[in-house]
Amino acid sequence: MGSESIPTEQWAQVVEKSGGPVVYKKIPVPKPGPDEVLINIKYSGVCHTDLHAMMGDWPLPTKLPLVGGHEGAGVVVARGELVKDIEIGDYAGIKWLNGSCMDCYYCRQADEPLCPEPSLSGYTVDGSFQQYAIGKANHVARIPKECDLEAISPILCAGITVYKAIKESGVRPGQYLTIVGAGGGLGSMALQYAKAMGIHTIAIDGGEEKGKMCKEIGASEYVDFTKSKNVVQDVKNATADQLGPHAVIVLAVSEGPFQQASEYVRSRGTIVCVGLPANAYLKAPVFDTVTRMINIKGSYVGNRQDSAEAIEFFRRGLIKAPYKTVGLSQLQDVYHLMEKGQIAGRYVVDTSK
Ligand code: NAD
Ligand code: ZN
Ligand code: ZN
């Protein structure tokens, strides 16, 4: 099993009560079970989901105390006796789906995000805001050795999720995709995946800094929802025939944009809901939904194959989404910026600081 160099204690950011804040402290290093691996996490992206988890936003309780984080990239340092296909020293990643039963109706057909008994990293089991994290061997992301662990960490949730959502939207090369919340962590990834697939993107977010970034990483157009007098018309005008985008991916963390999307999506178009604002509901006029044949659907992370495909886009050098790196000890500062909507792209934490 393990090597002598694994310490018994490690630094971690711990949510001790719902609502936060996180507490930076030393905790024991966990030991992997027979079907698990222990990963020495080097870097972890900070997803807005981690903030929802700390705040207790969702109708699903978290474990407490909780180590958050589900974009953790690192090196395998120990494995249980049943694990055969991952070696000590391999690169691997902790993603949102830490494990699933592998035996239910959904798992049997590789819809494992829908498993009724999932373990969720940084939510129902401890995640990647610690130096050593555990994952089920059949679910941890396989990361090729040539990949940079810092840059790949946000792929492990943001990248996989938007890659899947773009596929679920049915949008094709040459068509238009509107990305709502394009300046955030998932949004900036979505712009890069869509660009790699030959899809035109219309980015919606707020502020000049995000607008500049969206344009730099591939948005064909940027609509600033804080300044636009008519977002619906601006989005439609951004398509060559002014009929609106073929698909919309809604990543925003408030309810309004989910309702607005049905006003500008092209007839027969698809709205994919991905963002998870607290206490939000979908509302769309039945008349328009019927007579314009609008599809409204959800998309939730990705399965193991989606994960491998999303990582392969990155390995090929097609995905260069912007990120800033700070020490794990500064996680609470990242949450403050996130709450205010002031993060362009993603923050990554370095677990050694
Ligand atoms: P983020 O904070 O990095 O980005 C959200 C962006 O939305 C920000 O740039 C913000 O300015 C923008 N925004 C807010 N209101 C807006 C509006 N009215 N119009 C346009 N843009 C607006 O967050 P993130 O990490 O990208 O996560 C986004 C959401 O997706 C969160 O709710 C998160 O929990 C959820 N999520 C879902 C899945 C899934 O599988 N469905 C996976 C990961 C994250
Ligand atoms: Zn996430
Ligand atoms: Zn299952």
Proximal ligand: closest to the CA of 277: 1
Residue 256 CB less than 6 A away from ligand 1: yes
Strand partners, 180: 204, 250
- Of all protein residues, the one whose alpha carbon is nearest to atom 29 of ligand 1 is 275
Adjacent-strand bridge partners of 119: 99
Asked if pLDDT for residue 4 goes beyond 70, the answer is no
Which CATH code for domain 9-157+302-350? 3.90.180.10
What mean pLDDT comes out for the span 9-36? 98
In total, the chain counts a number of residues equal to 353
Q: What tokens does 133 get?
A: 């994290």
Measured in Å, residue 115 CA sits from the centre of ligand 3 at 4
| Mean pLDDT over the full length of the chain | 97
Distance between CA atoms of residues 260 and 285, nearest Å: 11
Cβ 345 under 6 angstroms from ligand 1:
no
Residues of the chain with pLDDT > 70: what percent?
99
Q: What does pTM read for this prediction?
A: 0.97
Whose CA is closest to 49, among 152, 127, 107?
Answer: 127
Cβ neighbours of residue 192 closer than 8 Å, sequence gap 6 or more: 217, 218, 318, 319, 320, 321
Residue 204, pLDDT above cutoff 50:
yes
- Per-residue pLDDT band for 243 (boundaries 50, 70, 90) equals very high
CA of 158 to the centre of ligand 2 (A): 6
CB 247 within 8 A of CB 264: no
Rg (CA), the chain: 20
Domain coordinates in residue numbering, the chain: 9-157+302-350, 159-298
- Class level of CATH domain 159-298: alpha beta
Q: Quick one: which ligand is closest to 235's CA?
A: 1
Q: Ligand 1, from 47, 169, 259: best to mutate by most atoms within 8 Å of Cβ?
A: 47
| CA–CA distance, 96 with 146 (Å, rounded to integer) | 23
Instruction: Tell me, in angstroms, the distance from the centre of ligand 2 to residue 285's CA.
Output: 30
Is 57 a pocket residue for ligand 1 (Cβ < 6 Å)?
Answer: no
User: Are 9-157+302-350 and 159-298 equal in CATH topology?
Assistant: no
User: How many angstroms is it from 305 CA to the middle of ligand 2?
Assistant: 17
Structure confidence by residue, pLDDT tens digits, 260-317: 999 999 999 999 999 999 999 999 999 999 999 999 999 999 999 999 999 999 999 9
User: Are 302 and 310 contacting, i.e. CB atoms less than 8 angstroms apart?
Assistant: yes
* pLDDT band of 1, cuts 50, 70, 90: very low
Residue identified by tokens 């992206």 is 45
Average pLDDT on 6-14 reads: 98
- The residue assigned the tokens 């492990």 is 156
In tens, the pLDDT along 60-71 reads 999 999 999 999
Give the strand order in the sheet containing 66-67. 22-28, 9-15, 66-67
pLDDT at residue number 345: 97
β-strands 97-99, 119-120 pairing: antiparallel
Rounded to the nearest 10 degrees, the angle between the axes of helix 158-169 and helix 304-315 is: 110
